[in-house]
Amino acid sequence: MFARVGTPPGSTARPGDDDGMATAEYALCAVIGAAFAGVLYVIITSGEVRNALTSLVVDALSSGF
């Protein structure tokens, strides 16, 4: 009636070998994602990029297409 939970037959891994690994991996990915977002924010808000994006939008809107 109920499925048995555990390692598949023939597997050499023992349950509990990597306790907490999924949580640590998710936490590491969250930290890396936040750092990447911070770097992108600094790049996008810099003066050179802002001027380039503004000129790109102005040129696109004034093309008369």
Please, are residues 7 and 13 in contact by the beta-carbon 8 Å criterion?
A: yes
pLDDT number for residue 14: 62
| Predicted local distance difference test score (pLDDT) of residue 28 | 93
- pLDDT tens digits, residue range 7-64? 566 666 566 566 556 888 899 999 999 999 999 999 989 999 999 999 999 999 998 7
Q: What is the pLDDT of residue 55?
A: 94
Can you give the pLDDT at residue 1? 55
Three-class SS state of 65: coil
DSSP string, 23-62: HHHHHHHHHHHHHHHHHHHHHHTSHHHHHHHHHHHHHHHT
Length of the chain: 65
